[in-house]
Amino acid sequence: MNGDIKVIGFDADDTLWVNEPYYRETEQIFADLLKDYLSKDSINKNLFSTEMRNLKLYGYGAKGFMLSMIETAIKISENKLSNEVILKIIDLGKELLNKPLVLLDGVEQVLKSLKGRYTLIIATKGDLLDQERKLEKSGLSSYFHHIEIMSDKKASNYDKLIKHLDIKPEQFVMIGNSINSDIKPVLKLGSYAIHVPYHTTWIHEEGDGIKIENDKFAEVKTLLDILNYFE
């Protein structure tokens, strides 16, 4: 990485701690509840379509996901869904919000190594209350100079963040598991980006499969591997 790097940004969900597997587990339980109406695959496709339509209204996070599950279920059942099933879906959403916080391997080792040499921040998106709750559970707050919980992660959102940090784009590097949210937007601004793939990624966050050709981009196998770029 460029020797001028001053700020390292970390995504949170599925970069610092487990998140997406909980959603996939919830999605499968949801599909089981509605298996009398459609196949699981069709139910999942319907749910994803509903989520995409609702993103501008609800944003990212468990609460919007729960509302999309309810809407999908009502439509699939053609308004025949019982109150009991609706309550079960609401409980699924609450359970999702109360999942245990599990740090990914190497997180604290990486943060301890980098703290003091660089300004560390979290740049994540999702529901404000939920993300604040996760951060508190994680015990990682003391490592970070700044926490940015964003409504979205487009280039314009990162541009605003970089200006707030009072640095140049080339002095910032973003680390995360999502090609669409953590990598492409910051490269567009001229910042650096390191992709740390996670075994479970929401389809909305996956890239288009086209290899990224950019000298400010790197991909590693594990979070610990990023330390090779900050020796």
Q: What is the pLDDT of residues 151-171, one digit of tens each?
A: 889 999 999 999 999 999 999
Q: What is the DSSP letter of 181?
A: I
Is residue 79 domain-shared with residue 119, that is, in the same domain?
no
The answer to whether the pTM exceeds 0.75 is yes
The mean pLDDT value for 207-224 works out to 84
Does the pLDDT value for residue 1 go beyond 80? no
Decide which of 52, 74, 97 is a domain's last residue: 97
Is residue 123 domain-shared with residue 221, that is, in the same domain?
yes
Which tokens in the block code for residue 209? 């499969």
The mean pLDDT value for 26-44 works out to 93
Domains of the chain: total: 2
Is residue 106 domain-shared with residue 203, that is, in the same domain?
yes
Position 202 scores a pLDDT of 44
Q: Which of 60-69, 136-145, 207-216 has the lowest mean pLDDT?
A: 207-216
Is residue 37 domain-shared with residue 87, that is, in the same domain?
yes
Is residue 204 domain-shared with residue 125, that is, in the same domain?
yes
Decide which of 49, 77, 97 is a domain's last residue: 97
Is residue 133 domain-shared with residue 59, that is, in the same domain?
no
pLDDT digits (tens, 9 = 90+) for 66-123: 999 999 999 999 999 999 999 999 999 999 999 999 999 999 999 999 999 999 999 9
Location of structure tokens 């390292």: 8
Per the structure, the complete domain to which residue 39 belongs is given by 20-97
Which tokens in the block code for residue 172? 């910032």
Would you mind telling me the total number of residues written for the chain in this entry? 231
Is residue 53 domain-shared with residue 80, that is, in the same domain?
yes
In whole angstroms, give the CA distance from residue 23 to residue 4: 38
What is the share, in percent, of the chain residues with pLDDT greater than 70? 94
Q: How confident is the model at residue 54 (pLDDT cuts 50, 70, 90)?
A: very high
Q: Closest Cα to residue 93, out of 37, 5, 29?
A: 29
Q: How confident is the model at residue 141 (pLDDT cuts 50, 70, 90)?
A: very high
Asked if residue 2 belongs to a domain, the reply is no
Q: How far is CA 205 from the centre of its chain?
A: 8
101 touches 138 (CB < 8 A): yes
Q: How confident is the model at residue 204 (pLDDT cuts 50, 70, 90)?
A: very low
Specify the DSSP element, H or E, that contains 85: helix 83-97
Which tokens in the block code for residue 66? 């729960």
